[in-house]
Amino acid sequence: MKYYAILALALLTLLSACAGSRQKLSPVGNINLKDADVYYQQKNVDKAFDSYQKVLQDNPDHAKALRRVADIYLYRGEENPDKDIEYNKKAYEAYTRAINVMETFPNLKEDELIEIRDMKKRKLGAWTKIFISADKQLSLGNTMQAIEGFEIAAALDKSDIRPLVKLKDIYEKDLKDEVKAEELLLKLYETKPKELVLLQEIGAFYFNKKDFAKSLGFFLQAKELSPLDINIMMNISFCYFELEKMPEALAITKEILAIESRNIDALTNAKIISMNAEDDQAAIDYTKTLLDIRPDDTDFLHICNLLNKTKNFPELITYAEMWYRYDETSREAVQYIILGANQTKNKTMEIRYIDILKKM
């Protein structure tokens, strides 16, 4: 909104009565302050700015002058979109100085507390505009401008991890600089070692690099913060699997199934882990549950292989026929039915499906 930063003139009286009365100026400084206030009321931004700067030369910590300078920088950022990051940075810094000065005043009054709260809102607004502007530059393909904006946002507010996450993504995905991306992630981790989203982000980063041991470490930390998060538990299971720690992989997968007994991803994981561990019965049980939830060619193939391996031919026929009903073009399904029929001496079934196979 145009003139947003300089239209709230009601605050002028407030500052004059509060911060202004608490801080002394030289006679020349007082004249400059009065001139600045007049120009500000007249919306003569440039002259007001110059006069407030003269006040700050007389007293660099003058809260009212700092506040007005910040307001004008905020306004200039709105008026000059091509320089909005520069002006909003200056506004943020001036608001910070003004707030810090006012918070040192003894026995703050209600109107002064209101003034501080208002400046904090504007300070946050200035930071948000820097972040949004950097994000816009990124979407436009202006990578270096985006990096500059996110670096400024990160330096101004070290408590907010979003700019560094954005920078990590740029270096990892756009610039293909994994070393810099890792450096940023670890810098973030030092700042926010208990940030759940960050721990998952770092875990995913190392997983993509196939450094599964490091990835596992960060996902385990994330699980401590969110013990029942299915996605975190699945990632832990994947890491254990890649590290060939099958008992641990199965144990965490069973934890997932204790929470969501029909979780397809967890059941699939459990089936594959059991197959790798050559625990055929467990693999059969998990595959049966999967097929009970939804039919799938891969699961039909796996269960038929497993039932043949364990010589459970009656069940082999049952699931092979289910597979054939699901997919009447599957030669493998018919071949398994023929095998099961042969092994159970069911000549009629064997002849019928041999006939079907010949026509396929």
Say if residue 1's pLDDT is above 50.
no
Encoded tokens for 83:
């320089």
What is the b/e burial string over 75-100, where b = at least 16 CB atoms within 10 angstroms of the residue's CB?
A: bbbbeeeeebbbbbbbbbbbbbbbbe
Number of H helices, E strands in the chain: 20, 0
In total, the chain counts a number of residues equal to 360
Encoded tokens for 194:
């208990």
Task: Give which of 6, 115, 120, 123 is closest to 64, Cα–Cα.
Answer: 115
Average pLDDT, rounded, for the chain? 93
Structural domains in the chain plus CATH codes: 1-153 (1.25.40.10), 228-288 (1.25.40.10), 295-360 (1.25.40)
Say if residue 249's pLDDT is above 70.
yes
- pLDDT tens readout for residues 41-65: 999 999 999 999 999 999 999 999 9
Task: Give which of 267, 343, 254 is closest to 304, Cα–Cα.
Answer: 343
- Show the CA angle centred on residue 119, arms to residues 117 and 123, nearest 5°: 120
Say if residue 19's pLDDT is above 60.
no
Encoded tokens for 199:
């721990």
CA-based torsion, 349, 352, 354, 360: positive or negative: negative
Residue recorded with tokens 């039932």: 307
- pLDDT tens readout for residues 266-304: 999 999 999 998 999 999 999 999 999 999 999 999 999
Mean pLDDT of 198-202: 94
Q: Categorize the per-residue pLDDT at 21 as very low, low, confident or very high, splitting at 50, 70 and 90.
A: low
